[in-house]
A and B are shown apart, each in its own frame.
Chain A
Amino acid sequence: MSDDAEAPGFARDGNRLALHGALTTERIGDLWNPLLKAARGVAVVDLSRVSALDTSGAALVLAAGGEAARLEGAGQGVSAVLERARDALAAPRPRPAARRLPFVASLGAWTVGHGRTLRDGLGFLGEALVLSLAVLRHPRRLRLNDLLRHVDEAGLRAFPLTILLGTLIGVILAFQSSASLSAFGAQSYIPAMVGVIMARELGPLIAAVILAGRTGSAYAAELGTMTVNEEVDALRVMGVEPVAMLVLPRLIAGMLVMPVLTLVMNLSGFVGMGIIMNMLGYSVPLVTSQLQQWVTLGTLGGGLLKAAVFGLVIAGIGCRAGLSAGRGPRAVGDAATAAVVGGIVATVLLDGIFAVLFFRMSW
């Protein structure tokens, strides 16, 4: 295996293939294919001039010799390595993967699988609901320190990002709409338009995306790691209900911080829009009076109500993804991905349901 070992090579003479030199991992790369080509149909492989052989070299010799060829001239060390490699290759290999199910059966399996996931998700929601009601009767079961920590992490620490995004969205909406509305001389309605869009739709939605990306994924990763490390099992064995200890504080934190994040997002958006309006020559009183007129308490309240529901669902999906994580580091990554994707999709679906609901209620 030393660097000055003899370079490996081969020579074919009729039905006889003679190998020489050090057949070791780092030296056989370029030899592999030419040797296998030259070895086709040989009856004898002569190993008498092989100076060194490791298990990779043995794999090459055995592949070259195939089933039929006789291996001759191997020294004691070379024979021992060959014997080990032969035994290793003789061990049974994995059975080929099961044949794919026909279309109808695949569809059935898919439906059953997703049905079970849905059932487990509903079971989780039910368990969380029952425990929440139990906490109302026994408030001491709720760990206040944990709740405050989650409120801090999901809420306060998200303020800078929320303010930045809110301001930029307000600026962009006002700037983009000013070009179109100026054609109709309706630029003065920009505050009304941006105000309603932010308060009713974009504020809760963007805040939900922030919560899903920052907090939902963190919940899934944290609880997923705890699941992988058997900490969740340890809680169960200790008689501590994991949902009560781990999930409830996160659900409540999600529900509490989302309206606040939405409010911060809305205000930042109004400030961003105000900056553009000011640049367009409109005064601050005009902007504020437009906002007062159009952004009613009902509009704002509807947005904040949606935000609270979004927060609850995003936190629930994150916790659920974490607690149902499989084994290994990949499982934690999968749980985090499921939390973010599930959180955003659920938010958009719920937003659609709220839109229909508010329309029917003339809210």
Chain B
Amino acid sequence: MADYPEVLGLQTRSLREPVVEAEGIAMAFGTNTLFRDVTFQVERGEVFVILGGSGCGKSTLLKLLIGLYQPTAGQSRILGQNLQASTGRKRQALLAKLGVMWQSGALFGSMTLLENIMLPLEEHTTLPPQAREEVARVKLGLVGLSDAADRLPGEISGGMAKRAGIARAMALDPPVLFLDEPSAGLDPITSAGLDQLIKDLARDLGTTFVVVTHELQSILAIGDRCIMLDKEAKGMIAEGDPRELRDHATHPTVRAFFRREAI
């Protein structure tokens, strides 16, 4: 284990403008350590994937990065600022610079999709009402849901809910978007459409994506770089370009993951 986490495919990248940083992060619930010494940086415009098997702490790491949990050791920064240590208006301003798409969509059931997207605009901007609606329609159009603007979350499919979740996360055009299992439970066509959307948004809008997933096809399709967490190792076991890891990784768990083999 001395050589791990192994790092592959990083030699061409320069991490000069980190948007998200994790420094020696550890997380434990009681005496149960989930992971320790997790360190990485995500640069602007990159699609960064956190991957790993079930129960390794991927979603917990995401919640930690967006300030919902306090790490038991280490610290994380978004746009150079420590979210956990921020309070009051400073924290609000920092939260406006990140968007989160939840695994279930987490859309508000009593509001239409358009109203769901207008909510953060109402809270964080001085846009007049008709402008909020116009901007919200653009976000819905970006994810291909223009014709569903007036529907309630209970009336749409799982794939549409995920796309609406991305649209709401993008409401304030944040520089960084966190996506929790965007492809989980979707059919291959919808999943591929969502992957394409993420790639397009990263390319055209320069948005940075931090994506938690264990969907292999998605990882290879969208990921510029990734880290892999492991339940047994209680931490990172690999970091780098997902395609490089697929082809050249030596860690047995990483190899098994990318080759879909049982260990």
Type the 1/0 row for A312-343, where 1 means its CB is closer than 8 Å to any CB of B: 00000000000000111111000000000000
Q: Is residue B187 within 8 Å, beta carbon to beta carbon, of the partner chain?
A: no
Docked CA distance A54–B207 (Å): 10
Interface size on A, residues (CB 8 A): 38
* Residue among A56, A77, A92, A331 with most chain B CB within 10 A: A56
B146 near A55 with CB under 8 A, answer no
Least Cβ distance of A4 to chain B in Å? 13
Check B131–A91 contact: CB distance below 8 A. Answer: no
B73 within 8 A of A: no
**Does A67 lie at the interface of the complex (its beta carbon under 8 Å from any beta carbon of B)?**
no
How far, in angstroms, from A24 to B174 measured CA to CA in the complex?
Answer: 10
By beta carbon, the residue of chain B nearest A63 is B134
Cα distance A29–B152 when bound, in Å?
27
Please determine whether B134 and A59 come into contact, CB atoms closer than 8 angstroms: yes
With contacts A89-B137, A93-B149 taken as known, whether A32 is within 8 angstroms of B154 at the C-beta atoms is no
Q: Which residues 134-152 of B have a CB within 8 angstroms of A?
A: 134-135, 137-142, 144, 146-152
* A30 → chain B closest CB, angstroms: 6
Indicate whether B194 reaches chain A with its CB closer than 8 angstroms.
no
Q: Is the CB of B173 within 8 A of A24?
A: yes
User: How long is the Cα–Cα vector from A80 to B175 in the complex, in angstroms?
Assistant: 16
Once A84-B142, A88-B140 are accepted as A-B contacts, the answer to whether A25 and B147 lie under 8 Å apart by CB is no
Set of chain B residues within 8 Å of A80, measured between Cβ atoms: 203-205
Tell me if B245 is interfacial: C-beta within 8 Å of chain A: no
Choice from A29, A58, A60, A63 contacting B126 with Cβ under 8 Å: A29
**A84-126 interface code vs B (CB 8 A; 1 in, 0 out):** 1101111111110100000000000000000000000000000
Chain A residue contacts of B109, Cβ below 8 A: 328-331
- Give complex CA distance A181, B97 in Å: 71
Chain B residue at smallest Cβ distance from A32: B131
Asked if residues B110 and A87 are in contact (CB atoms below 8 Å), the reply is: no
Please measure, in the bound complex, the distance between the C-alpha atom of A340 and the C-alpha atom of B206, giving whole angstroms. 52
- Asked whether, in the complex, the Cβ of B154 is within 8 Å of the Cβ of A56, the reply is no
Task: Using known A-B contacts A26-B125, A81-B204, A329-B109, determine if residue A59 contacts B138 with beta carbons closer than 8 Å.
Answer: yes
Q: Is there a chain B Cβ closer than 8 Å to A28's Cβ?
A: yes
Nearest to B127 among chain A residues (CB) is A29
Q: Determine if A33 and B149 form an interchain contact, defined as CB atoms under 8 angstroms apart.
A: no
The answer, yes or no, to whether A1 is at the interface (CB within 8 Å) is yes
Residues of B within 8 A of A92 (CB): 146-147
Measured CA separation A18–B203 after assembly (Å): 27
Check B172 against A84 for contact (C-beta < 8 Å): no
Chain B, Cβ-Cβ closest to A77? B206
Q: Is B248 in contact with chain A by the CB < 8 A criterion?
A: no
Q: Does B177 contact A (CB under 8 A)?
A: no
Compute how far the CA of A95 lies from the CA of B135 in the bound complex, rounded to whole angstroms: 19
**In the complex, what's the smallest C-beta–C-beta distance from A3 to chain B, in angstroms?**
9
Q: Give the residues in chain A near B151, CB-CB below 8 Å.
A: 94
In the complex, which residues of chain B have a beta carbon less than 8 angstroms from the beta carbon of A329? 109
Q: Dominant SS at the A interface?
A: helix
Q: Which of B128, B134, B173, B204 contacts A25 (CB 8 A)?
A: B173
- Tell me the complex Cα distance, A80–B154, Å: 34
The reply on B153 being an interface residue by CB < 8 A is: yes
- Give the CA-CA distance A58 to B139 in the complex, in Å: 11
Asked if B146 and A91 sit within 8 Å, CB to CB, the answer is yes
Q: Using Cβ atoms and an 8 Å threshold, which residues of chain A touch B142? A: 55, 84-85, 88
Bound form: Cα–Cα A250–B34 in Å: 42
Q: Does B179 contact A (CB under 8 A)?
A: no
In the complex formed, the residue of A with least CB distance to B204 is A80
Q: How far is the CA of A26 from the CA of B206 in the complex (A)?
A: 17
A25 touches B141 (CB 8 A): no
- Known A-B contacts A26-B125, A91-B141; the reply to A55 vs B96 at CB < 8 A is no
Cα(A29)–Cα(B128), bound, Å: 7
Considering the chains assembled together, what is the distance between the CA atoms of A28 and B121 in angstroms? 12
Inter-chain contact B172/A58, CB cutoff 8 Å: no
Across-interface contacts of B149 in A (CB, < 8 A): 93-94
> A residues within 8 A CB of B259?
none
Query: Does the CB pair A93–B96 fall under 8 Å?
Result: no
Contact A30 B126 (CB under 8 A): yes
Contacting residues, chain A, for B175 (C-beta < 8 A): 1
Within 8 A of A (CB), among B141-173: 141-142, 144, 146-154, 170, 172-173
Q: B115 to nearest A CB, angstroms?
A: 13
The answer for the CA separation of A108 and B152 in the assembled complex, in Å, is 26
* Contact residues, A10-62 vs B (CB, 8 A): 24-26, 28-30, 32-33, 54-56, 58-60
Q: Is the CB of B146 within 8 A of A328?
A: no
Determine whether the beta carbon of B154 is less than 8 Å from that of A328. Answer: yes
Binary flags per residue of B113-137, CB closer than 8 Å to A gives 1, else 0: 0000000010011111001001101
Tell me, rounded to whole Å, the shortest Cβ–Cβ distance linking A303 to chain B. Answer: 41
- The answer on a CB contact under 8 Å between B173 and A56 is yes
Interface pair B127/A328, CB less than 8 Å apart: no
Contact indicator A26/B172 (Cβ below 8 Å): yes
| Given known contacts A56-B173, A91-B144, A25 and B205 CB-to-CB distance under 8 angstroms | no
Task: Tell me whether A55 and B154 are in contact in the complex, defined as CB-CB below 8 angstroms, given that A28-B127, A84-B142, A88-B140 are known contacts.
Answer: no
Q: Which residues of A contact B170 (CB under 8 A)?
A: 55
| In the bound complex, CA of A58 to CA of B135 (Å) | 9
Contacts of A1 in B (CB 8 A): 97, 173, 175
Nearest residue (CB) in A for B125 is A29
Instruction: Looking at the assembled complex, report how far the CB atom of A36 sits from the nearest CB atom of chain B, in whole angstroms.
Output: 9
Residues of B within 8 A of A87 (CB): 141
New A-B contacts (10) at CB < 8 Å, excluding given A25-B135, A55-B205 = A1-B173, A25-B121, A25-B172, A56-B138, A59-B138, A77-B206, A88-B141, A90-B141, A91-B144, A331-B154
